[in-house]
A and B are shown apart, each in its own frame.
Chain A
Amino acid sequence: MNSKRCILSVVMGFLVLFAAFSQGADPKTVTPAWVMEKQFEQQQAGQSADATKATNAFNVFFIGYDYPTLSGALADDLASWSGPINFSLGMESGTGAGSSMLTGIEVELFVTINDAGSRLFMHDMAMIGYSFDLAPFRFNLGGRVGLSMFDVMGPVSYTGIGLVFGPEASLYFAVDPAFWLWIRGRYSMASYMSLDSGGPIGKGNDSLNCVSLEAGLAFKI
């Protein structure tokens, strides 16, 4: 019985093998190697181009000195707190190597500490705009919107938190492919609510406009 099973298995095996190898595949179902090699080359070329595009995109970290000029209802209350420690930092990223859409974030921080007390004033803003590639310059136009906060600790202490928005323009100059000098001008408007009962915001002075003139360094990231 076992020998019969063995013979049957061998015969079946041969039949299966014969069925498998007696007829080759339909040529339409097998892509030639040279066609696939061309596709691979095109894919790689496309990926290399994407990589080059990503590498060449305007994508910087910046830091600079900020000179704010305040106006509006709150300006008089904050005028005595003006000081020299004002700076901004952030990042900007273009979507392509040439002229392209631009997004970014920025923090402006104005710190004053003196005998009367201290004031911290900050804008946290996101930006969307367009970057014009004018090599070696880049001219960026856009608008920012974000959060504005200030905290005054002095003879009268108060804290405000509000919404800030406004247009801006900046010009970058490429000193090196990885290093830029830049200047920026922005007009922003903010409206606040108070976290404290006292202070000018509680009296209705809740708006502040700011012209920021900035200049600094930017590094490719």
Chain B
Amino acid sequence: MKHSSILLAFCLAILAMSCASAPSPTPPSTPPPAPSAKTDIWPKIYNDETYLTTFASAWSADEALGVIKNLQNSIVDFSANLPLSELNVDPYGMRARWSWIENGSFQKSAGFIVPYDQITSMLLEHYPAIDKDYKWGLLIYITGASPVSIRAPTREVAERLGKAIFVLAKARNANVSVPNARFGAALSALSEAQAQAAGILKTGGIIVSWVFKESPAEKAGFSPQDIITGVEGKPVMKGDDLFAAIDAAATAGAKEIKIAGIRRSYRTEGKTHVEIFVPLTFTLAIDQTGEAK
């Protein structure tokens, strides 16, 4: 029985070692706590890209009408992603419809109307993440109505449509706002909560809502949520102060202008991320051919 005892002890020892060294997937280590998103007070970050354009063209109203009619087969509504079955265009507006079959036999239809004299602004959009072929688009803001979003297969088609609509809107005396071509970022007034979070006095100030692609602001390094506090050593109270300073510098023949700002960021301390606000100086190149509004 001596051998059996030895063997049994040996078996148990090997079993114990086997169990101890058994491969098992180890759960990943606990991730460091991520900072809570401060989107409640800071401008929303959009996934789509807005390109800087003033939709300027030398087309007449008749030419613009022709351009829109010629684009009927190249544009779709943003959400339906269906070709337009009907497009009615005249000097007063643009009316479109599209239809589809639901549940095998029910024909449904929907549409949009763009009254030219009610247009307040237009944006050239790109939706890189969208799972459709029509990744370019035009977002048309209309007084008292939801924006109309039209998508196109290429930037050229979207831009042509925008230029044509802009010509017709101008012909109808619409007060269409276009981006400042010498800057190229959408600005909002700095709220008290934002000023308090950044630790600055709420005596004015502006915050960048989004930055247009291919704009001087993008090239200068501006980012959404940047706070603009001064330009050329003078405080900025509102967007017009900034644009006036850029225009004055352009008139004076300056090639660039210094803009002071504050950027929200994070500093990593061990396993935690601490929100910080970093003073920045932006150097904005001035395009002498641009025009501020």
Q: Judging by beta carbons under 8 Å apart, are A103 and B4 in contact? A: no
Given A32-B265, A51-B27, A124-B18, answer yes or no on A24-B279 (Cβ-Cβ < 8 Å). Answer: yes
Q: Judging by beta carbons under 8 Å apart, are B265 and A153 in contact? A: no
Residues of B contacting A147 with CB < 8 Å? 14
Given A27-B280, A157-B3, answer yes or no on A54-B221 (Cβ-Cβ < 8 Å). Answer: no
Interface centre among A26, A34, A36, A43 (most CB of B within 10 A): A34
Say yes or no: is A145 at the interface (Cβ < 8 Å to chain B): no
Q: Judging by beta carbons under 8 Å apart, are A47 and B31 in contact? A: yes
- Interface 0/1 of B253-286, CB less than 8 Å to A: 0000000110111100000010100111110000
Task: Tell me, in angstroms, the Cα distance from A78 to B42 when the chains sit together.
Answer: 80
Instruction: Please report B residues at the A interface, Cβ cutoff 8 Å.
Output: 1, 3-4, 6-8, 10-11, 14-15, 18-19, 21-28, 31, 34-35, 37-38, 42, 45, 220-226, 260-261, 263-266, 273, 275, 278-282
Interchain CB contact (< 8 A) of B3 among A91, A93, A151, A221: A151
Interchain CB contact (< 8 A) of A27 among B7, B15, B35, B263: B263
Q: Judging by beta carbons under 8 Å apart, are B282 and A27 in contact? A: yes
Residue on A with the closest CB to B230?
Answer: A24
Q: Which residues of chain A from 104 to 135 have any CB-CB distance to chain B below 8 Å in the complex?
A: 104-105, 107, 109, 118, 120, 122, 124
Given A24-B280, A124-B14, answer yes or no on A36-B3 (Cβ-Cβ < 8 Å). Answer: no
Q: Judging by beta carbons under 8 Å apart, are B280 and A105 in contact? A: no
Residue on A with the closest CB to B266?
Answer: A36
Q: Judging by beta carbons under 8 Å apart, are A54 and B223 in contact? A: no
Task: Tell me, in angstroms, the Cα distance from A32 to B223 when the chains sit together.
Answer: 7
Interface centre among B4, B45, B279 (most CB of A within 10 A): B4
Instruction: Please report A residues at the B interface, Cβ cutoff 8 Å.
Output: 21, 23-28, 30-38, 40-41, 43-44, 47, 50-51, 54-55, 57, 59, 89-91, 93, 95, 103-105, 107, 109, 118, 120, 122, 124, 147, 149-151, 153, 157, 159, 221
Q: Judging by beta carbons under 8 Å apart, are B4 and A24 in contact? A: no
Task: Tell me, in angstroms, the Cα distance from A104 to B226 when the chains sit together.
Answer: 55
Residues of B contacting A153 with CB < 8 Å? 1, 3-4
Interface centre among A33, A55, A57, A150 (most CB of B within 10 A): A33
Interchain CB contact (< 8 A) of A26 among B226, B264, B280: B280
Task: Tell me, in angstroms, the Cα distance from A118 to B5 when the chains sit together.
Answer: 11
**Sample of 20 more A-B contacts, CB < 8 Å, known A34-B45, A38-B45, A105-B22:** A24-B260, A26-B281, A27-B220, A32-B225, A33-B275, A40-B35, A54-B27, A59-B25, A91-B19, A93-B24, A104-B22, A107-B11, A107-B15, A107-B18, A124-B11, A124-B14, A124-B18, A150-B7, A151-B4, A153-B3
Q: What are 7 A-B contacts defined by CB distance under 8 Å?
A: A24-B280, A27-B221, A32-B225, A34-B264, A35-B223, A59-B24, A104-B23
Which secondary structure dominates chain A's binding surface?
Answer: mixed
Residues of B contacting A55 with CB < 8 Å? 27
Task: Tell me, in angstroms, the Cα distance from A21 to B38 when the chains sit together.
Answer: 27
Residues of B contacting A93 with CB < 8 Å? 22-25
Q: A121: shortest Cβ distance to chain B, in Å?
A: 9
Task: Tell me, in angstroms, the Cα distance from A44 to B32 when the chains sit together.
Answer: 9
Q: B275: shortest Cβ distance to chain A, in Å?
A: 7
Residues of B contacting A159 with CB < 8 Å? 3, 7
Given A25-B278, A51-B28, answer yes or no on A34-B11 (Cβ-Cβ < 8 Å). Answer: no
Task: Tell me, in angstroms, the Cα distance from A156 to B282 when the chains sit together.
Answer: 94
Q: Judging by beta carbons under 8 Å apart, are A44 and B24 in contact? A: no
